[in-house]
Amino acid sequence: MAAATMSWDDGKHMKVKKVQITYEDVINSIEAEYDGDQNPHRHGTPGKKSDGVSLSPDEYITDVTGYYRTTGAEDAIAALAFKTNKTEYGPYGNKTRNQFSIHAPKDNQIAGFQGISSNVLNSIDVHFAPLPSSSSASSTPSSGLSQANKVEAQGGKGGTSWDDGAHEDVRRVFVGQGESGVTYVKFEYEKNGNKESREHGKKSLLGAEVFEVDPEDYITSVEVQSDRIFGHDTEVITCLIFKTSKGKTSPPFGIEGQQKYELKDKNGGKLVGFHGRVGELLHALGAYFAPSSSTSSSGGGSTPSTNQPAGSAGSKKLEAKGGNAGNPWDDGPHDGVKKVYVGQGESGVSYVKFIYEKDSNEVPGNDHGKKTLLAPEEFVLEYPNEYITSVEINYDRIFGSEAEVITMLRFTTNKRTSPPFGLEGAKSVLLKQDGHKIVGFHGKAGSDIMHQVGVYVKPISK
């Protein structure tokens, strides 16, 4: 007998601090924590799997994307993804082809949830609130930490989320190891002239090793190695290696893992904070990067590039998403996009080409990647009345590839959504900016595979 449905409403709060979901085939429960409210709000019944996100003090949710399916006589939310002013999280759960999105209006954030639950989450809606003031949202000084870029955590999906936020400097790193991987990390930060320590996980009998950063130096990158080990459903961190701006490299803290990632800022910034996931072992590690000098840094996905092509006035270059491999390509911004060609190989998207409009002339873009025996699929827009508003990018790590590859592209216009060109990947991101249209593409391509895709956007003319 199905459980009775119940409406619930958490109300409007200052800010969302944490969202935790449990799920099996669909989401069983959702629990949110808010600023100014010490009591977590949980709705639904616990599921076997758990996942979620903890936000830093100066981070707030701007978008929620949901996926749903019909089970029996009721609809149920199958997966949720969250976008913040810093990065994207999820989707958590099991994606379906049925999708909806909730976007906060300009100068607003998502500051509360409401919905309907039974023994699963049947529906979800939100409350909007003005963006938190700089004084209440963060004690980050004006020295550039407000521009801190949150780089996605790498590793496995197990454990519980933690987030230290951004600071001024990282002075010491402690790493503890167990039999199977890294069990413990501790970081000593400097902020507003004070030292703060944050620790995650549990020390083993082996204790912890320390890496000290000199006063005039800073960490520029972290190599994160992970592997799947017996007894754990997802990968765990097996080794960490830290590098600084003055060429200092830590010893490898741990044992070599099968997967290797580099946490690094695309603008050469300094590492100022960590976040991740931890259980009995450290499952994932991510970082915050801030400008290393007074030089302006783009710092994120929707800020203008500091080195855009000629003719880019009024456009913004949104960061490419996917794996960090291949050779860069850049078509630059145009007036609009008229046609899209996507070619597929055995392992993912192997080829893209775009036809643009500029100054009333049709401008064919260059070929990127390599065509296969399968002819590229075509998506034709009704230009100028139709324009692309967003691109969904799916990417995954495949056997034999040094980095993730693009497995699928899907384009949404002001009138419709294209079919999926390719296959669903482990990771999915949506490139878009409200009130803007996509007018150009850039990315990275290998000899026979596409590794990254990014876009240029311009405001939609009224």
How does strand 194-201 pair with strand 236-244? Answer: unpaired
Domain range spanning residue 231?
149-290
Q: Which residues of the chain have pLDDT under 70?
A: 1-3, 37-38, 133-147, 192-193, 293-313, 462
Answer whether 62's CB lies under 8 Å from 103's CB.
yes
| Whether the model pTM is above 0.85 | no
Co-location of 237 and 361 in the same domain: no
In whole angstroms, how far apart are CA 122 and each of 66, 90, 110, 215, 356? Answer: 11, 19, 19, 53, 42
Give the whole-angstrom CA distance, residue 226 versus residue 208. Answer: 19
3-state secondary structure 308-372: CCCCCCCCEEEEEEECCCCEEEECCCCCEEEEEEEEECCCCEEEEEEEEEECCEEEECCCEECCC
Which run of H or of E encompasses 134?
A: helix 134-137
Co-location of 118 and 196 in the same domain: no
pLDDT for 304: 35
Co-location of 322 and 420 in the same domain: yes
Residue 196 belongs to a domain: yes
Co-location of 178 and 262 in the same domain: yes
**Secondary structure (3-state) at 297:** coil
Instruction: For residue 58, count CB atoms less than 10 angstroms from its CB and return exposed for 0-12, middle for 13-18, buried for 19 or more.
Output: buried
How does strand 450-459 pair with strand 316-322? Answer: antiparallel
Answer whether 37's CB lies under 8 Å from 23's CB.
no
Answer whether 338's CB lies under 8 Å from 358's CB.
no
Co-location of 71 and 201 in the same domain: no
Domain end position, chosen among 98, 130, 162: 130
pLDDT for 3: 63
Residue 139 belongs to a domain: no
Co-location of 258 and 324 in the same domain: no
Residue 142 belongs to a domain: no
Query: Tokens 């994160």 appear where?
Result: 224
Residue 299 belongs to a domain: no
Co-location of 96 and 179 in the same domain: no
Residue 135 belongs to a domain: no
Chain centroid to CA 35 = 23
Co-location of 166 and 203 in the same domain: yes
Short-list 69, 108, 68, CA closest to 85: 108
Co-location of 284 and 180 in the same domain: yes
Co-location of 349 and 262 in the same domain: no
Number of folded domains that form the chain: 3
Co-location of 122 and 223 in the same domain: no
Give per-residue pLDDT as tens, 214-239: 888 899 999 999 998 877 778 899 99
Q: What are the tokens at 1?
A: 């007998």
CATH number at residue 51: 2.100.10.30
**Secondary structure (3-state) at 144:** coil
Q: What are the tokens at 272?
A: 């100022």
